[in-house]
Amino acid sequence: MWIMVMFDLPTETKAQRKAYAQFRKKLLNDAFIMLQYSVYARHCGSEENCRVHMERVKQWVPDHGEVRVVQFTDKQFERIQIFYGKMTVPPEKPAAQLSFF
């Protein structure tokens, strides 16, 4: 499972820039990777683990701005297509999953 966080936070005042930086830093400290500006994703081992991280993000949302969270499967993540001009680039490799025998 993957969780993607997309946000649009204001940065007009010093306080807003600080809130933006703190929100972004919390995402990075929670193992989210930046896919694009204001778009971060994280691999989760299960749906339950995704819910835990969604709740964390919900607690971190600054007073102003908008944050959207999307949850999707590994297979859906593999189907992401990235275009740079006319060139197609494969998406980042999903995190290795643990195997128990």
Q: What is the pLDDT of residues 57-73, one digit of tens each?
A: 999 999 999 999 999 99
Long-range interactions of 9-14: CB distance < 8 A, separation 24+: 9/38, 9/62, 9/64, 9/65, 9/66, 9/67, 10/64, 10/65
Give the DSSP H/E element, type plus range, for residue 70. Answer: strand 66-72
Whether the pLDDT of residue 95 is over 80: the answer is: no
Residue 15 placed within a domain: yes
Note whether residue 94 is domain-resident.
Answer: no
pLDDT digit string, tens, across residues 26-83:
999 999 999 999 999 999 999 999 999 999 999 999 999 999 999 999 899 889 888 7
What is the rounded distance in angstroms from the CA atom of residue 68 to the CA atom of residue 94? 21
The reported pTM is: 0.79
| CATH code: domain of residue 70 | 3.30.70.240
Q: Is residue 101 part of a domain?
A: no
Q: How many domains does the chain have?
A: 1
pLDDT of residue 33: 94
pLDDT, position 88: 65
Provide the residue range defining the domain that includes 57.
Answer: 2-89
